[in-house]
Amino acid sequence: MPRYPTPANAPPKVRVVTLRINGQDVSAREDETILSVAVDHGIRIPSLCYLEGLTAWGACRLCVVEVAGIPKLLPACSTVVTEGMVVETNSDKLKRYRRMILELLFAERNHVCSVCVSNGHCELQNLAAECGMDHVRVPYRNAPYEVDSSHDFFRVDHNRCVLCTRCVRVCDEIEGAHTWDVMGRGVECQVITDLHTPWGESESCTSCGKCVQVCPTGALVKKGTAAGEMEKLGDFLPYLTQMRGKQ
Amino acid sequence: MNLEELHDLATQAQAKAKSQEHHVHICMAASCQSSGAADLQKGFTEKVKQSGAGDRVCVKGVGCMGLCCAGPLVRVESTTAGGESHLYQHVKKDDVTELYASIGKKPVERLECPTDIPFFERQQRIVLENSGRIDPEQIEDYIGAGGYRSLVRALTEMSPQDVLREVSDSGLRGRGGGGYPSGLKWATVARSPHPTKYVICNADEGDPGAFMDRAVLESDPHRVLEGMTLAAYAVGAEYGYVYIRAEYPLAVERLKTAIRQATRRGLLGRQICDTPFSFEIEIRLGAGAFVCGEETALIASIEGQRGQPSPRPPYPADEGLWDCPTLINNVETLANIPAIVREGGQWFRSIGTEKSTGTKVFALAGRITNTGLIEVPMGISLREIIEEIGGGIPDGRTFKAVQTGGPSGGCLPEEHLDMPVDYDTLRTAGSIMGSGGMIVMDESSSMVDVARYFMEFCMSESCGKCIPCRAGTHQMHGILAKIARGDATAADLQLLEELCEVVRDTSLCGLGQTAPNPVQSTLRYFRHEYEEKLKADPFAAAKPATT
Ligand SMILES: Cc1cc2nc3c(=O)[nH]c(=O)nc-3n(C[C@H](O)[C@H](O)[C@H](O)COP(=O)(O)O)c2cc1C
Ligand code: SF4
Ligand code: SF4
């Protein structure tokens, strides 16, 4: 949907379109994305950077789907449905691609689950199980990253970060603090607080903890949790945005 | 300014040029400057001053003459009847006295560069028509060469739709790499009812070995401004940006000068040519990240954000800079516009092939005799470019492959040399037109090394946003290095091929989507070079037949 109002593209009411996902006929509002329509109809599409309540980022590429007539794969989280669209979310090729993307993630940093506070409550771990990724063929990078424990309540372990930028977006879009951002390029990317100052010294952080709650892995955690103890409140965000919308 | 005033200015400029019998043109583009052209200009200017011949001899710095490998280049021309023109190559500071003395007399044979060679004769210049002929720092020179006529005529005699029609008729396709029909893109922006629109000139030029856009901006900056202004008129934009990398200081300086001059002449800014149409251009400097040439990343960078691509749609033409419809075109694309408006879309269409019209500028580099900048009609064969214009491979070596399209392109072997150069044929052969870099390789180049080099480039230029490109290019580079070292097995090669497929199909932007191209094309044509480097898998025998 265009974000600016003009007489021509601000129709008073949103139309309903019909489309087909995995052979199932579904109807949807024309401003919905493939992912949200799929979720509404109980069709699961794996995703990692997407989080309801935040702007779509389109970066993890796990949610890419096939759309008939379009040669490229499209990210379901940021592709709006159109009338007559025919979508395939789980072809053999897509499954193979998703496994490879997960392998790349697991090899990129240190994801040794058994010692992680998020063990058993980790979205990355769940995705690997869901997509049948049971071994990693590419070599591990084994690059050590820092662990920043300077904050009074929270800790960031960059070794577990998948660069989904959920923390960046929630802090900017919901909390309004914009403490987090990304530094560097390529595999050297890293999330940082303020201008790469230790989290505990950040002047913009309000210690609200939203970033910790949205982080899919054990990268952002509450201090004082032991292995497997860090459970996150996944659904506070849709509730928050919904309530704000009502105001 | 109206057409008459412009005409007067042009006549004045031409008359002034005619009044001086002899012209010494020194190439002042970056390549010749780096080999001492500025000293030559100083030397010649001093000679003129000493001999008091200022009214007879004109010394000026001009833009790129093309044959960069023979620089610094100096052209001595006489305007008198039967006037001669001599091009001198590899001119040194000590040669100035001898050259100056020869003006109007016998040329200095020792330094002469033949101009009847295919390098000059086989070219067809549209984008570079003024390059190497006019002083890029003087708007009068551009006007004298017919510049700004298209703009003034369009504003006073044509409607925006007329301009758009000419561009659509011309069949011009984007020269930034994608080859998207410019007319279609312009029409999308023009159609939008949004009150604010932007035109962006993409001068980020990040491909290693490419310097076409730099040369155009350094040699004829007004041409790009005129093209942008015509585009703005056609689509209804009032503001424009030139996004240029800070590593091009000379081009930036000349652009700034050109913007100042054009604004002072009323050819840019508020109420251009006393019509209600206004257009202002600002320069934005990029820090030189390759990915910032990608249009959505470029827009993010102009907005002051991290230069990272975002998924398309929405396309910039619908929702671009600050969410407004934005026309973004490459330097060379825009540099074609004044000629298209001047001569008409049909004229442009008559050059080149049916689906790839016009000419293309290429930067010839690598193992080739004549390195430099050329402009040739589309549809010319690679063989003509390499063997005739480029003068073949030096030192008695043999041709092995030509790389087009930079890190997004591929390597083509001997058997494809007779293929016409156009967007679609290059693509079917596994390469791309790209922005115009052309690197020629002889038998001494290892294709695995070439692939590894480009992968290293993509790996370090990946913005890191999406997983397949960020981690995938890193892994592919690792495997390529392993193959080059001779440590890889057939399983590694298979993994490499699988990675190529995943990264190509799932990456977010063009950088990741095309990063596997150099690997896939070299595997397609030079697979044996990879296989020769593989070592036997020590565990092959121990492994069960099926895994
Ligand atoms: C990684 C990447 C780098 C690019 N770099 C450039 C560039 O340096 N210059 C350019 O004009 N286009 C570049 N492009 C293409 C632009 O995204 C865009 O398609 C182009 O500027 C459109 O102009 P055109 O239609 O005139 O070609 C790049 C694309 C990608 C994916
Ligand atoms: S710290 Fe967590 S939320 Fe932030 S980018 Fe890394 S994985 Fe995502
Ligand atoms: S493909 Fe590469 S450069 Fe493009 S968005 Fe993804 S990580 Fe960034």
pLDDT in tens, B147-191: 999 999 999 999 999 999 999 999 999 999 889 999 999 999 999
Q: Are the C-beta atoms of B479 and B492 separated by less than 8 Å?
A: yes
pLDDT tens for B384-412 read 999 999 999 999 899 999 999 989 999 99
Cβ-defined contact of A104 to B465 (cutoff 8 Å): no
Given this model, what pLDDT does residue A12 score? 55
| Domain range annotation of chain B | 20-62+74-112, 139-349, 359-442, 447-532
Grade residue A200 by pLDDT with cuts at 50, 70 and 90.
Answer: very high
CATH no., domain B447-532: 1.20.1440.230
Cβ-defined contact of B464 to A186 (cutoff 8 Å): yes
Classified by CATH at the fold level, domain B359-442 comes out as: Ubiquitin-like (UB roll) (3.10.20)
Given this model, what pLDDT does residue A117 score? 87
Cα B295 to ligand 1 centroid, rounded to whole Å? 6
pLDDT tens for B365-377 read 999 999 999 999 9
Of A168-182, A231-245, B204-218, the least confident: A231-245
Whether the CB of B235 sits within 6 Å of ligand 3: no
Whether the CB of B459 sits within 6 Å of ligand 3: no
Of B116-125, B330-339, B495-504, the least confident: B116-125
Grade residue A5 by pLDDT with cuts at 50, 70 and 90.
Answer: very low
Q: Which of A101, A181, A188 sits opposite B506 (nearest CB)?
A: A101
Cα A211 to ligand 2 centroid, rounded to whole Å? 8
What tokens were used for B155?
């504003």
Cβ-defined contact of B464 to A187 (cutoff 8 Å): yes
Query: Does the domain made of B20-62+74-112 have the CATH classification 3.10.20.30?
Result: no
Residue B263 to residues A52, B149, B268, B278, B328, Cα–Cα distance (Å): 49, 16, 5, 11, 22
pLDDT tens for A81-92 read 999 999 999 999
Of B42-46, B82-86, B351-355, B422-426, the least confident: B82-86
Amino acid code (one letter) for A61: R
pLDDT at A8 exceeding the cut of 60: no
> In sequence order, what are the beta bridge partners of B111?
none
pLDDT (average), residues B49-60: 88
Q: Is the dihedral of CA B267, B270, B272, B274 positive or negative?
A: negative
Cα B507 to ligand 3 centroid, rounded to whole Å? 6
Q: What is the mean pLDDT of chain B?
A: 93
Residue in A168, A187, A191 to test binding to B, most B beta-carbons within 10 Å: A187
Whether the CB of B512 sits within 6 Å of ligand 3: yes
pLDDT tens for B439-487 read 999 999 999 999 999 999 999 999 999 999 999 999 999 999 999 999 9
pLDDT at B544 exceeding the cut of 80: no
Given this model, what pLDDT does residue B546 score? 47
Question: What ipTM does this complex have?
Answer: 0.91
pLDDT at B16 exceeding the cut of 70: yes
Q: What CA–CA distance (Å, rounded) separates B443 from B421?
A: 23
Cβ-defined contact of A3 to B323 (cutoff 8 Å): yes
Cβ-defined contact of B289 to A139 (cutoff 8 Å): no
Centroid of chain to Cα B148: 21
At B202, phi and psi to the nearest 5? -90, 100
pLDDT at A234 exceeding the cut of 70: no
Q: Which of B289, B318, B508 sits opposite A58 (nearest CB)?
A: B508
Q: Which segments of B355-433 are extended strands (E)?
A: 359-366, 372-377, 399-404, 410-413
Closest-CA residue of chain A to B313? A79
Which pairs with CB-CB distance under 8 Å and at least 24 residues apart come from B489-497? B489/B534, B489/B535, B489/B536, B489/B537, B489/B540, B490/B534, B490/B537, B491/B537, B492/B534, B493/B530, B493/B531, B493/B534, B495/A137, B495/A138, B497/B523
CATH no., domain A16-90: 3.10.20.740
What tokens were used for B195?
């009150």
Cα A112 to ligand 2 centroid, rounded to whole Å? 16
**Residue carrying structure tokens 């490419």:** B210
Cβ-defined contact of B464 to A188 (cutoff 8 Å): yes
Helix (H) or strand (E) holding A220: strand A220-222
A184 φ/ψ sector (left φ>0, alpha ψ -120 to 50, else beta): left
pLDDT (average), residues A228-243: 77
Q: What CA–CA distance (Å, rounded) separates B154 from B167?
A: 13
**Residue carrying structure tokens 């596994």:** B430
Given this model, what pLDDT does residue B477 score? 97
Given this model, what pLDDT does residue A224 score? 85
CATH no., domain A116-235: 3.30.70.20
Q: What is the mean pLDDT of chain A?
A: 91
Three-state secondary-structure class, residue A189: coil
Q: B59 at the A interface (CB within 8 A)?
A: no
Given this model, what pLDDT does residue A247 score? 65
CATH no., domain B139-349: 3.40.50.11540
Residues of B in Cβ contact (< 8 Å) with A185 = 289, 460-464
Given this model, what pLDDT does residue B207 score? 87
pLDDT tens for A48-99 read 999 999 999 999 999 999 999 999 999 999 999 999 999 999 999 999 999 9
Cα A39 to ligand 1 centroid, rounded to whole Å? 36
Grade residue B545 by pLDDT with cuts at 50, 70 and 90.
Answer: very low
| Domain range annotation of chain A | 16-90, 116-235
pLDDT at B547 exceeding the cut of 50: no
Q: Are the C-beta atoms of B225 and B262 separated by less than 8 Å?
A: yes
Tell which one of B301, B461, B470 to mutate to probe ligand 3, the residue whose CB is within 8 A of the most ligand atoms: B470
Q: How far is A189 from chain B (nearest CA, A)?
A: 6
pLDDT (average), residues B259-284: 95
> In sequence order, what are the beta bridge partners of B203?
B244
Cβ-defined contact of A59 to B465 (cutoff 8 Å): yes
Given this model, what pLDDT does residue A4 score? 47
